[in-house]
Structure 1
Amino acid sequence: LAPFNIRVNCVCPGTILTRASEEHMARVGMTMEEFIAAEAPKHLLNRVGAPRECAYPILFLACDESSFITGTSLMVDGGYTAQ
């Protein structure tokens, strides 16, 4: 797609607190505190992410400032895959 000036990138999020994670907690009977205590240690930053922390990298990849970036996967996972 590059010959047509179309960039293709991927954002790979870690654990992000969203409505879906809240629904998951309700299904399995976990509190927010229990969920965070279970998930945070899996990330090098020892916490889970907020939606805006995933949105800003997506916004960057969609704007002209990233015009020389294509064919990449951007890990937005608090260091989960770096372990």
Structure 2
Amino acid sequence: MSLEKALEKRLTNEVKKMKGLALKFWCVSFTGFPDRVVLIPLGKIFFIEFKDTGKKLSKRQELVHKLLIKLGFQVWVIDTQELLTGFLNAAKG
């Protein structure tokens, strides 16, 4: 299993423990959208992009992430277990 898939699996398991949802999102008509939309109780919404360590976002992903941030959402790019732990701690807080 690739690191990207392992991170994604851990995220979904941990979000379930928080009584939240980690939805796989695939938008045919809008490319570059993050891999997961995470919904945590009390109305917390996060967008998560997984990458293998050191891999860069595409130009389209960068553009979409900037748009989501401009709309007021948090977008996390996670490529290590440490970053995933940081996200999970932030989501709980």
Same fold, judged at TM 0.5 (above): no
Q: Higher helix share goes to which structure?
A: 1
Structure number with greater CO (CA < 8 Å, separation at least 6) is: 1
Q: Higher strand share goes to which structure?
A: 2
- Structure with max Cα Rg: 1
